[in-house]
Structure 1
Amino acid sequence: MEVCLFLIGESSHAHGVFDRSTISLLRSAAHDVEGLRRFVLHLPAVRDERTASGPFCVTQWYFDDLERLEAALQPGGVLQAAADGIAASMDNCTLFQQAMAVRKFSTPHPIDTREERCTYLVSYEGEADDFNAWLTHYLTHHPPLMTQLPGIRELEIYTRIDYRSALKHARATAMQRNKVVFDDVASLDAALASPVRARMKADFDSFPPYSGATPHYPMHSIYGNLTRE
């Protein structure tokens, strides 16, 4: 199963703007991370109440397996330099790391070679009373609804794993994360206003017991377009 490292930058500096030179450095660094299969950089797509308390950036680093990810997280590597660069890019920044297993689902209109999209990132920050029951219900019932969202390009669901890392940044502990991808903000807004969203809400209300925050953030996504043999 594919694994993904999330690096999540948060700052008390309201509506901070991510340095464009740092974007270029991250995209360049992605080409030098051994074993990296895919790279995505997410920045806030809008400036409103949905993003006021959200991360100023999220990066995703995909690997074929945990062994390759852990190798990339050893001291002195490109990933360590990239993480430190994110942390230094914004005043009062806290950088969080979390490695997660990736579950990828087919969508009616899969993503193509376009370099930029709009992504809705969701995280389940709390705990389910019975995680096995939660995940079984979620994976059985929710993705079939999510893939019906108009214009959806990509759907991934992530669950936490134990991993070794030399990065000194704080570890995030989200129980689960989701990603749904659309062409642009207008497409995302149309999907969120569709009848499918109401059916998703009804299913959400039937989930096994869970307590904790579930923040949702619309993000502008920039793809690394890596070429790997």
Structure 2
Amino acid sequence: MTVSYFVRYDISTADAKSFLEHYRTRHVPILARWPGAKRVVLHTPAEWNDPFAITRGNAMLLVQVEFESAAALKSALFSRERAEARLDFQNFPAFSGTVTHQAMLSEEAWHA
């Protein structure tokens, strides 16, 4: 079972394209250097319709950094590279909203 560290950006910005470009070109290379990181996945909104009454999410970006174990995640969170990522956060294009962080165990329940 792997562990993923998610960062959810429920934000608005004057220029979403610039925000995502900064994230892809500047921030992801830092995340890729986190000790033990296996992959970084950026999830961005897709156009979709649901015939049922649901509550839609507002995330502009959901970032997933995957690790082999909880111990690997812990090591990454206390690393120099994590501190570098936190510093880069100050360089993001201006935005308003909420950014949340959460670690979750991954269990593949089905695969085609």
TM-score by length of 2: 0.92
Could you report, residue by residue, the CA deviation over 1:93-152 in whole angstroms, capped at 9, with x for unpaired residues?
Answer: xxxxxxxxxxxxxxxxxxxxxxx1111111101212211111111111111111101111
Q: Which amino acid aligns with 2:44?
A: T
Aligned with 1:150 (options 22, 32, 35) = 35
Q: Give the match for residue 125 of structure 1.
A: 10
Greater RCO, 1 or 2 (C-alpha within 8 Å, sep 6+): 2
Q: Give the match for residue 103 of structure 2.
A: 218
Query: Which residues of 2 match residues 11-30 of structure 1 at below 5 A?
Result: none
Deviation at 1:174, TM superposition (A): 0.6
Query: Which residues of 2 match residues 19-168 of structure 1 at below 5 A?
Result: 116-168=1-53
Are 1:193 and 2:78 an aligned pair? yes
Deviation at 1:225, TM superposition (A): 5.2
SS of match in other structure, 1:118: strand
Are 1:181 and 2:66 an aligned pair? yes
SS of match in other structure, 1:157: strand
TM-score by length of 1: 0.47
Q: Relative to total residues, which structure has the larger helix share, 1 or 2?
A: 2
How many corresponding residue pairs? 112
Could you report, residue by residue, the CA deviation over 1:22-42 in whole angstroms, capped at 9, with x for unpaired residues?
Answer: xxxxxxxxxxxxxxxxxxxxx
Q: Bigger radius of gyration, 1 or 2? A: 1
Deviation at 1:177, TM superposition (A): 0.4
Are 1:207 and 2:82 an aligned pair? no
For 2:95 and 2:40, locate their aligned partners in 1 and report how far apart those are by CA, in whole Å: 22
Q: Which amino acid aligns with 2:105?
A: H
Gaps of 5+ in 1: 1-115
Note the aligned Cα RMSD (angstroms): 1.3
How many percent of aligned residue pairs carry the same amino acid? 30
Deviation at 1:167, TM superposition (A): 3.4
SS of match in other structure, 1:139: helix
Gaps of 5+ in 2: none
